[in-house]
Amino acid sequence: MDTKDEKSPPSDTEQPVSKTASTQMGTLSAVEDAALTRKIDRRIVPLMFAAYFFQFLDKVLINYANIMGLQKDLGLHGQQFSWMATAFFIGYTVSEFPQAWLLQRFNVATVLGVNILLWGVTICCTAATTNFAGVTAVRTLLGCFEAVITPALILITSQWYTKRESTPRYGIWYCGLGAGQIVGGLISFAAQHGSKTASFGGWRIMFVAVGASNLLVAALILLFLPEAPDAASWLTPAEKVHIHARLALDQAGAGRKVFRREAIMETLCDAHVWVLFVLTVLIVIPSGVVTTFSATLIAGFGYDPKTAALLNMPSGVVSILATLGCTYAILVDFPRWLGIVALMVPTLLGAGLMSFYRGSQGGVLAGIYLINFVVAPLALVFALVGSNVQGYTKKIAVNAVVAIGFGVANIIGPQTFLSREAPTYISAKITIFAVNGAAMVMAVVLRLLYGWRNRQSVRAREAELEAVRTGQMTVEALEDQEAEETDRQNRAFVYVY
């Protein structure tokens, strides 16, 4: 836990957001404010969770399909499965900036909903593929459509919650990943009891069923997810004003939706953006390996496909518990950077067991489960992006950069699985071990950078809040000022870490 001195930035819980907003705007009491937050949770969080759950389930299906005969049915050999898995993330990576442009230009909820509709259709089409070229093309298209998910959900979350409130919400919708691992195992187990023919085997049934479910989620997003608080028909005018006030006082929110070219240039030159990029790559390389190959590794121990699918399900439980634990720890002011470091410890232990343990299969299996702790730090990275970037254009640009890091890492990860090393895949296991140590170092670097920047800005921020408290500045004026600035332009911007 960080020590505090007179120059340290106030913690999230010390920011008198709700009380000040009520005083200045004359809107809601503390009790009403808590009720409003619960109201937003009921309307927004389930939709974000469903979107992230299905996009991850779509990705992890290939993991289960691999043990259900996909390679045999499609005639794959050598590194073709790894390249097919990589093709998804090539499409994902190259589509980030086009998707960012769509988010800047159009309604965020509409862009998200249409992409879910398109990737649902694409998942269904996977069942019709008959060779390497066909399945690779479909996976590439799927990556293009799913590239929207992280930037869109970070943007949506930041539009509704203060920095302290938002981190647990990032954790909740990010738990869609763990839920996808669990449900994917059940779906795979069930589908393996279906048809055994190559033309429409169990893995094809699985893709059709999940793809069709995506279409329902797309409809829910398009119908019920508002663009922003001002567009929510279920909020009263006083509630909308209150949301704006509390976000302004917390330096949260997405800012005014106006394209600013200088914000793009600032993104490319901002040190903390590139630290976040590198940190994302280091975290996601082992995460991507687990996503695509964990069931394959388990099957390599001699288990049949049905058992391997079921044995992969505890990985999802580990992911959920780690994600909720690290994101809800923010409510008791546990540092985000230290949470990333702490989560890497069991990940390193798991990588060591999986890579070098020569005892029972149970020990190696425990290593695979422990590696899933590496999934959780990415939720904290998303929270840092949402909280520490100001300005609509810059927020979208930084989201795209971090998402590109996610895609690059997933391109690297599957390529460490060399077919000639099956079933041990020692190169992949050593890679997992190495990048986790590097991620811990980068988390410390990020904390030092934010601390250095805050020493220059915290007094200016305290002066702003004092001006609001004493009536020298209205909340509306503060909101207008922040809507026009990025975090680097705002000399009073305080980073959370």
**Which pLDDT does position 292 carry in this prediction?**
62
The residues near 39 (Cβ < 8 Å, ≥ 6 apart) are 234, 235, 239
pLDDT digits (tens, 9 = 90+) for 171-222: 999 999 889 888 887 887 777 766 555 556 778 888 998 999 999 999 999 9
- The region of weakest confidence among 295-299, 365-369, 381-385, 470-474 is 295-299
Higher pLDDT residue, 295 or 441?
Answer: 441
**Which pLDDT does position 314 carry in this prediction?**
87
Share of the chain above pLDDT 70, in %: 88
Q: How many Å apart are CA 367 and CA 66, to the nearest integer?
A: 21
Contact 379, 171 (CB under 8 A): yes
pLDDT digits (tens, 9 = 90+) for 429-438: 777 778 888 9
If pLDDT is split at 50, 70 and 90, which confidence band does 443 have?
Answer: very high
CATH number of 16-483: 1.20.1250.20
pLDDT digits (tens, 9 = 90+) for 96-116: 999 999 999 999 999 999 999
Q: Check whether 81 has a pLDDT greater than 70.
A: yes
The whole-model pTM stands at: 0.85
Q: Check whether 454 has a pLDDT greater than 80.
A: yes
The residues near 211 (Cβ < 8 Å, ≥ 6 apart) are 58, 120, 121, 122, 123, 124, 125, 126, 127
Domain ranges of the chain: 16-483
- The region of weakest confidence among 225-229, 240-244, 421-425, 474-478 is 421-425
User: What b/e string do you get for 451-487 counting C-beta neighbours within 10 Å, with b at 16 or more?
Assistant: bebbeebbeebeebbeebeeeebebeebbeebbebbb
CA-based radius of gyration for the chain: 23
If pLDDT is split at 50, 70 and 90, which confidence band does 50 have?
Answer: very high
Q: Check whether 22 has a pLDDT greater than 50.
A: no
Mean of pLDDT values over 443-465: 88
Higher pLDDT residue, 198 or 392?
Answer: 392
Mean of pLDDT values over 447-476: 84
